[in-house]
């Protein structure tokens, strides 16, 4: 059986209705509210077809229909257009290029959650070909050295290193010079064992110290080590009865959000997919129920979007809500935030 124009319209009406009310929707409702003039009986016939085709389902005989995952998917892919719905004006974005990226990201997460009334997560931006900008060693006290490592994109890493022997200012200066001359501008791949050995040799008795510094450099450059994830509005999940009818389910969802690791994987995967060329215009992806690789999200939908700061630093943000989330609003909110982050960094950079 193939999809007729009329079936499409009815399916859309069902989904729209369900998104609003969260209740199964019956034939009479559709007959009344929709613009086409059809009796409930006719609608029923069509609905019966739609069910056979897998787009909708009945929680029990003699109840209205609700969209299946396949139904939602159809809606997201084909029906959802930018109907110019008023997304209520987003709070003026107060995101300011904060000193610490973490503060900015936390702000953005909160903004997303507050505006959508769903849960929001955001990952720190990942750089894939990042290079070391410079290293600065400083003597903090008799036997500790602070290594400050700056990576392209201005990611800063501090590492306190203990040294056993005494270390005079002059030596620190020399080591600084040594490290910077050899390492500046290099990427992870370019710092190979040969180079490391060379530097250690030149460092003489301080080769241990230099080793520690290089370890720290590796840690700073490696993207996945730096992955941090912020979340906000997890408790918005509690607003949706279909997610709270069962305490175990709720708990699973909330702890998955709290623990974050799983979302790390999801977002990374999603980011790769976007990068991998089959670029849909906006970089927004929707995972409905079981489409998501995260088991505990089977009753939720997850919408992810990329964002980009200067220097090609790309990260992911995502919204977690019930399957009947307001996809349009979510997509719009994400897009807006993408734009604003973009503008913020383009302008001031």
Partner DNA sequence: TGTTAGCACTCAATTTATACGAGTGCTAAT
Partner DNA sequence: ATTAGCACTCGTATAAATTGAGTGCTAACA
Out of 4, 58, 138, 290, name the contact with a copy of itself by CB under 8 A.
138
> Mask: binding to DNA, 65-104, rule CB under 7 A, as x and -?
x---------------------------------------
Q: Is 205 in the site for DNA (CB under 7 A)?
A: no
| Least CB distance to DNA at residue 37 (A) | 6
Out of 11, 24, 155, 240, name the contact with DNA by CB under 7 A.
24
| Least CB distance to DNA at residue 299 (A) | 17
Q: Is 276 in the site for DNA (CB under 7 A)?
A: no
Question: 40-53 and 5-21 helices cross at what angle (nearest 10)?
Answer: 90
| Least CB distance to DNA at residue 66 (A) | 10
Q: Which residues contact 112 (CB under 8 A, 6 or more apart)?
A: 120, 122, 232, 233, 317, 319, 333, 334, 337
From the list 37-45, 46-54, 86-94, 134-142, the region that binds a copy of itself by CB under 8 A is 134-142
**Cα 71 to Cα 19: distance, rounded to the nearest angstrom:** 12
C-alpha 340, offset from chain centre: 16
Contact 10, 17 (CB under 8 A): no
Tokens of 140: 């903090």
User: Of 34 and 187, which CB lies nearer to DNA in the complex structure?
Assistant: 34
**Cα 3 to Cα 332: distance, rounded to the nearest angstrom:** 28
**Cα 148 to Cα 182: distance, rounded to the nearest angstrom:** 16
Contact 179, 198 (CB under 8 A): no
Largest CA distance in the chain: 91
| Binding partner of 61, given a copy of itself, DNA, none, CB within 5-8 angstroms per partner class | DNA
From the list 53-61, 144-152, 284-292, 320-328, the region that binds a copy of itself by CB under 8 A is 144-152
For a copy of itself, the binding residues (CB under 8 A) are 99, 133-134, 136, 138, 140-141, 144, 146, 148, 150, 154, 156, 158-160, 232-235, 238-239, 244, 247, 250-251, 254-255, 258
């Amino acid at each position: 059986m193939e999809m007729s124009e009329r079936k499409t319209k009815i399916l859309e009406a069902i989904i729209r209705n369900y998104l609003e009310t969260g209740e199964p929707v019956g034939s009479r409702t559709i007959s009344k509210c929709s613009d086409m003039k059809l009796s409930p009986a006719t609608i029923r016939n069509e609905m019966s077809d739609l069910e056979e085709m897998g787009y909708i389902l009945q929680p029990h005989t003699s109840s209205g229909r609700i969209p299946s995952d396949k139904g939602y998917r159809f809606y997201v892919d084909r029906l959802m257009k930018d109907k110019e719905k008023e997304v209520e004006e987003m709070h003026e974005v107060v995101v300011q290029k904060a000193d610490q990226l973490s503060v900015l990201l936390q702000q953005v997460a909160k903004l997303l959650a507050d505006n959508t009334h769903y849960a929001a997560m955001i990952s720190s931006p990942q750089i894939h070909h990042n290079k070391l900008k410079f290293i600065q060693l400083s003597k903090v006290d008799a036997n500790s050295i602070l290594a400050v490592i700056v990576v392209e994109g201005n990611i800063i890493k501090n590492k306190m290193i203990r040294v056993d022997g005494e270390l005079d200012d002059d030596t620190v200066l020399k080591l600084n010079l040594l490290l910077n001359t050899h390492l500046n501008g290099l990427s992870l791949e370019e710092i190979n064992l040969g180079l490391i050995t060379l530097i250690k040799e030149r460092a003489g008795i301080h080769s241990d110290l230099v080793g520690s510094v290089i370890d720290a450099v590796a840690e700073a450059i490696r993207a996945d080590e730096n992955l941090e994830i912020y979340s906000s509005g997890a408790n918005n999940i509690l607003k949706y009865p279909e997610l709270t009818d069962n305490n175990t389910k709720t708990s699973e969802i909330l702890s998955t959000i709290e623990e974050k690791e799983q979302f790390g994987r999801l977002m990374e995967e999603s980011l790769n997919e976007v990068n991998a060329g089959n670029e849909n215009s906006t970089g927004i992806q929707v995972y409905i129920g079981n489409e998501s690789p995260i088991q505990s999200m089977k009753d939720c939908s997850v919408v992810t979007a990329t964002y980009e700061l200067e220097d090609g630093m790309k990260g992911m943000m995502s919204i977690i809500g019930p399957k009947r989330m307001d996809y349009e609003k979510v997509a719009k909110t994400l897009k807006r935030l993408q734009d604003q982050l973009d503008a913020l960094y383009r302008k001031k950079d």
